[in-house]
């Protein structure tokens, strides 16, 4: 059995993955979750939160809330 890998994803990939389930970014996130552990620093989490709650993403609030609570 292969050891699990540790992966880091850029905030842009995470934002795109949250906003579109059909995106390449979502595919990358899903694959990363299947092959290893995704590592995130507190600064990445803060940046992700700050970006997702910008006014231009208001129309996606329901999707964002679902991803955050999942």
Domain presence at residue 69: no
Look at residue 70 in the predicted model and tell me its pLDDT.
54
Domain that holds residue 29: 6-57
Q: Look at residue 64 and tell me if it is in a domain.
A: no
Determine, yes or no, domain membership for 51: yes
Nearest to 64 by CA among 9, 20, 11: 20
Please state the domain count of the chain.
1
Please check whether residue 35 lies inside any domain of the structure.
yes
How far apart are alpha carbons 68 and 70 in whole angstroms?
Answer: 6
Beta-ladder partners of 38? 7
pTM (2 decimals)?
0.77
In a domain, 11, yes or no: yes
Give the model confidence (pLDDT) of 4-31 as tens digits. Answer: 799 999 999 999 998 888 999 999 999 9
User: What pLDDT score does 19 carry?
Assistant: 87
DSSP3 helix / strand / coil % (the chain, rounded to 5): 65, 10, 25
Question: Which residue in 29, 32, 42, 25 sits closest to 5, CA to CA?
Answer: 32
């Amino acid at each position: 059995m292969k050891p699990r890998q540790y992966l880091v994803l850029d905030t842009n990939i995470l934002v795109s993955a949250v906003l579109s389930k059909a995106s390449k970014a979502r595919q990358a996130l899903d694959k990363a979750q299947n092959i290893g552990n995704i590592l995130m620093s507190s600064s990445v989490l803060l940046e992700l939160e700050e970006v997702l709650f910008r006014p231009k993403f208001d129309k996606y609030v329901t999707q964002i809330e679902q991803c955050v609570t999942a």
